[in-house]
Amino acid sequence: MKKSLLILLLPVLFISCSEDFTVLGPISERNVVNYYKTQSDFEVAINGAFDALQSNGTFGVNYVLFMEMRADNTENGGGATGLAATLEQLDKFDELDTASELNNTWIASYEGIARANTILSRIDEVSFTSDDVKNRIKGEALFVRSLLYYHLGVIFGNVPLITAEVTAPQNMNLNQVSAAEVMTQIATDLTTAEGLLPSTGRVSSGAAAALLGRVYLQAGDKASAVAPLKRVVSSNVYSLEANYADVWGPGNEGSSEILFQVEYMSGNVGEGSSYTDMFTASGLAGGVGGGSAPQTVTQDFIDSYEAGDLRQAATLSDSATVEKYEDTPSAPFDSDVNWVEIRYAEVLLNLAEAVGEGAEGYGYINQVRNRAGLAAIDGTTPGSYDDKLLHERRVELAFENKRWPDLLRHGQAKSVMASHLGIGEADVTLLFPIPLSQIDVAPDQMTQNPEHD
């Protein structure tokens, strides 16, 4: 699978528009007229869509800043001045709508969406040797688009919802909608994708179902989340690794626990990941000045482990750097470590949230706790069900970009982060500002999030 991502992206795959707005349309008529004509074209095009997930503006770097550093698990480890100033602002809820990280993430996310949209808009015009191949590519394109829109919805909230190829960006309606509408569209897309995708592969039907369950939870619809999550469990395709440490590292990328991962390959070919540089002492980038966004684990997170939790040693080194992303790259930003985005432990904890407190819910939580070497919990264990579930999610899914959405979804972002940073709850904003550059281009169609007006 990694080798497929090494295909050089032809100019026709770089979807762009004017310099003034995001990448929502093709760069030239060559895209429209001379490409997307054969099955081979679409095989290359879908690799281009997956390549967008590797971007520094998406999973490569920035989603970590917006989903993990924003919360109380990590903090900016690069200082507060110079090149690191915007990182510090993002960490402390003091960011400006001109921050380059915001604009880069907006553009990179929409670039991936545009690539998926072009595939979906054109694929039915082309004959394939196999309907299974066509369905797989369509399902993968829907999945990639859904994953990117999920992150845009959590990060920015009110964003343009574009689901078709844009051929004349200067005349388009940006269609800025609420996060709730974005999640509704994602649910529709993932329901379709699940029926198109194979049971195993780069993206499986189980991965689509798992993401669908996550999306329903983030949208506040626990009842709808139950069925897709249970389909993953009943498929018997995935299972918890006996040893938590066996999920992580380049040698474990075929783990039975992993439903979907963003794949990288070291070797100085531009396909390596930056996580070793961001999270561990083995990184070679040299901090912010070297192009990294180093993450420091908070003491609050370190103190959150229960005595005897086997996950701690597999997650943190003695010097409190993140073991999950340890590798021995030969060059900066060239780790072989993948980004594990969906895994079976999250499915179980999502199910526990969806079904609510009771024997079934505690049963899902205790499967995860048992692997960690911890005693089972139940209704007699101190604390509310939500608090016990959030604690379990925090230590199980640490440094996997789940903490900020969890705090948002459970209504605890303001209280937890105000206490963590020693600021007022009014200073904790729930959405990031939409980049000013995007609003300036279309002020009659785009509005800023109210918290940042």
Separation CA 94–CA 101 (nearest Å): 13
Give the CATH fold of the 1-203 domain: 1.25.40
Contact 166, 22 (CB under 8 A): no
Q: What is the mean pLDDT of each run of 10 residues along the chain (453 residues)?
A: 32 34 42 80 96 97 98 96 95 96 97 97 96 98 98 97 85 88 98 98 98 98 98 98 97 96 94 96 90 96 97 96 95 96 98 98 98 98 98 98 98 98 98 96 92 91
The pLDDT score that the predictor gives to residue 172 is 76
Q: Which residue do the tokens 């407190």 mark?
A: 357
Separation CA 308–CA 26 (nearest Å): 55
Do 1-203 and 215-238+246-260+304-320+339-426 show the same overall fold? Answer: yes
**Is 215-238+246-260+304-320+339-426 CATH 1.25.40.390?**
yes
The pLDDT score that the predictor gives to residue 258 is 98
Separation CA 423–CA 29 (nearest Å): 52
Separation CA 298–CA 305 (nearest Å): 12
Compute CA 35 distance to the chain's CA centroid, rounded to the nearest angstrom.
30
Contact 432, 95 (CB under 8 A): yes
The pLDDT score that the predictor gives to residue 12 is 31
Separation CA 350–CA 381 (nearest Å): 20
* E strand or H helix that includes residue 8: none
Contact 335, 327 (CB under 8 A): yes
Separation CA 401–CA 304 (nearest Å): 17
Token readout for 219 is 């949208």
Contact 252, 183 (CB under 8 A): no
The pLDDT score that the predictor gives to residue 71 is 98
- Per domain, the residue ranges of the chain are 1-203, 215-238+246-260+304-320+339-426
The pLDDT score that the predictor gives to residue 204 is 98
